Structure 1
C-alpha cells in the first residue's frame, strides 16, 4: 500500500507542469505584425500599377455594359453591332461636317471676337496676311471685312455673336443673286476657323472677289419701302 507522502511526491510534477501557461501571441498583435511584414516593398514588386488596375476596372465595366446592352437590344449581339455602327457613322458624319471642335476665343462660332473694326481695317489685315501667304488668316479677315461692309451699308444689323452662316443667310435676303456665293464664303470661314482645314490662294481670291462684288452690288429692297 502506497503512503500518502509517496502519492504527493508523484503528483507534484504533474501539477507543476499543468500550471505552466502556454506561450501565445494576442490575435490583434499577430495581425498587425503580419500586415507590417506584408506591406514591405519586396512583396509588391510585381503588383499591377494604379493605371493598370484602373484600366482593368474600366474594361470590366465596359464588358458588363455591353453584355447588358446585348441582352436588351433587338436581335441580341447582332442588334448591338448594328446600333454601334450607326452611332459610329453618325459621329463620323458630324465630324466631317463640323471638323475638330476647336473654337475661337470669342465663343463658339462667332465671326468677330476682337472688338469693332471697320471693313477697311479688316481688308488691310487680309491683304497683309495674303502677302505673307497666311491664307487661313487672310480668309478669316476677308470674311469679316465682307460682313462688316454689309453692316456699314445697313444691309445687316450690327449684332454681337453673329456667326458666318447667320451673316450669309441674312445677307442673302437683300442680295439673293449672291446667296450661293455667300454660303460658300461662310463655309470657307468655318472650315479654316473651326474645322482644322487649310485655305489656299484660290480660296482667298474667291472670297476677295466676292467682297469687292458685294461692295458694288445693289440690294433688293424688301418690306414697305419696296
Structure 2
C-alpha cells in the first residue's frame, strides 16, 4: 500500500516503509503548515470527503469488500444530500418568516374575525389561525394602539403592541410565533392554537375598554 510521506521526510531520506500510525502523524504535521491553514472551507470539506471515500475503496480491496465499500459510499452520499436539502429548506423557511401579516386583500377586523370563524367551523384551523391573527392586527390598528405599517411582520406587530400593552406582551409574542409556524413553518393549525388566538383577541378588546376608563 502506498503511504503518504511529507516533503520534509523525503528530503531527510526517511525510509519509505514506515508504520501506519507514523504516516498519519506525519500527515497531520504537514497539514498544520501555513499553506494548509489558508485552505478554503469548501476545499477542505471536499478534500476530507475525497480522502475518506478513497480510504474506503482501498480498504475494500476487491470482490465482496469492494461491494461493501460501494454500498457505504452510496449511503454516505445519500445522507449528505439529505442534510444539504434540509439545510436549504431551513434557510428558505427563515427568509419566508419575514413576510407581512396581511395579504393583498383589505379587510376590517370584524371581517377577519368572521372569516376566521367560518374557517374554524369548516375545520380549516390553519386558515382560522391566520385570519384571527390578522383580526388582532387590524383591531390594534383600528384602535390606534399601533400605527398602520405596510409589510409589518407578526413579530414586529407583537413588539410594537407589547410596548403599549405590556400586560399582554408575552401573549402577543406567542400568537406571532403560532402565526409564523402555521403560515411559513409548515405546522398544521389546531383547535387549541386557534383558541389561544381567539382568547387573546377578546382580552385585547377588553384591555381597550380598561385603558379608556383609566384615561
- TM bucket by the smaller chain? 0.5 to 0.7
CA RMSD of aligned residues (A): 3.6
Residue 155 to residue 68, structure 1, CA distance change in 2 (3 Å) = same
Spell out the pairing of 1:60-75 with structure 2 (5 A cutoff).
66-67=46-47
Following superposition, the deviation at residue 116 of structure 1 comes to: 1.9
Which has the larger share of helix?
2
Residue 101 to residue 123, structure 1, CA distance change in 2 (3 Å) = same
Highest RCO, 1 vs 2 (Cα 8 Å, sep ≥ 6): 1
Q: Distance in 1 between matches of 2:104 and 2:140?
A: 18
5+ long unaligned stretches in structure 2: 1-41, 52-82
Residue 211 to residue 64, structure 1, CA distance change in 2 (3 Å) = closer
With the length of structure 2 as denominator, give the TM-score of the two structures: 0.56
With the length of structure 1 as denominator, give the TM-score of the two structures: 0.53
Spell out the pairing of 1:149-164 with structure 2 (5 A cutoff).
149-164=139-154
1:174 aligns with 2:154: no
**Larger CA Rg, structure 1 vs 2:** 1
1:184 aligns with 2:174: yes
Q: Which runs of 4+ in 1 moved over 6 A?
A: 62-65, 68-71
Q: Count matched residues.
A: 139
Residue 199 to residue 159, structure 1, CA distance change in 2 (3 Å) = same
5+ long unaligned stretches in structure 1: 1-61, 72-87
Following superposition, the deviation at residue 100 of structure 1 comes to: 3.9
Residue 191 to residue 99, structure 1, CA distance change in 2 (3 Å) = farther
